Amino acid sequence: MGRNKKKKRDGDDRRPRLVLSFDEEKRREYLTGFHKRKVERKKAAIEEIKQRLKEEQRKLREERHQEYLKMLAEREEALEEADELDRLVTAKTESVQYDHPNHTVTVTTISDLDLSGARLLGLTPPEGGAGDRSEEEASSTEKPTKALPRKSRDPLLSQR
């Protein structure tokens, strides 16, 4: 059958041979690039997580601040309402007229100013009672206390 027959080729059909040349630096960069890219992805993911955490903390801080401002406004409003109620209660003036044979007396009670809170008007605590209490408190705090004996570092191997 024609196994040993060689085909004759014309020189026109031949393709030029392909020559491959490797650049060692590019080859090393390609082979080690997998690890580098993996490390870069890890770093980017960590930075992203840190950024999200920082943003979340900032949002929480802002929410707490808003809640604090809201609570403060509510308290101020409640205090204003309480002050207004106090003013309404204490602003009442009572007027009583007493008719005497020679003259007429009108007693008007105005209680706009609460002087008892600032201790400008009202009962002062007795000085003798307060002094007795402070002496009792001082005597109870002046009791000497005994110090406990120090323990040795290692009771089995004492230096005595």
Residue ranges making up the domain that contains 51: 22-114
Q: List pLDDT tens digits, range 44-95.
A: 999 999 999 999 999 999 999 999 999 999 999 999 998 888 777 666 667 7
Query: How many angstroms separate the Cα of 50 from the Cα of each of 58, 61, 112, 131?
Result: 12, 16, 59, 62
Average pLDDT in the chain: 76
pLDDT classification of 13: cutoffs 50, 70, 90: low
Examine residue 148 and state whether it is found in any structural domain, yes or no. no
pLDDT of 74: 95
Examine residue 110 and state whether it is found in any structural domain, yes or no. yes
Domain count, the chain: 1
User: In the predicted model, is pLDDT for residue 42 greater than 80?
Assistant: yes
Rounded Cα gap, residues 143 and 132, in angstroms:
17
Examine residue 109 and state whether it is found in any structural domain, yes or no. yes
Among the residue ranges 3-12, 108-117, 129-138, 140-149, the one predicted with the least confidence is: 129-138
The mean per-residue pLDDT over the stretch 19-42 comes to: 89
pLDDT of 19: 87
* % of residues, the chain, pLDDT over 90: 29
Examine residue 158 and state whether it is found in any structural domain, yes or no. no
Rounded Cα gap, residues 116 and 10, in angstroms:
127
Among the residue ranges 18-22, 28-32, 36-40, 115-119, the one predicted with the least confidence is: 115-119
Examine residue 84 and state whether it is found in any structural domain, yes or no. yes
Gyration radius of the chain's alpha carbons: 49
Q: List pLDDT tens digits, range 125-138.
A: 556 554 555 555 55
Examine residue 152 and state whether it is found in any structural domain, yes or no. no
Q: What is the dihedral of CA 97, 98, 103, 108, to 10 degrees?
A: -40
Examine residue 97 and state whether it is found in any structural domain, yes or no. yes
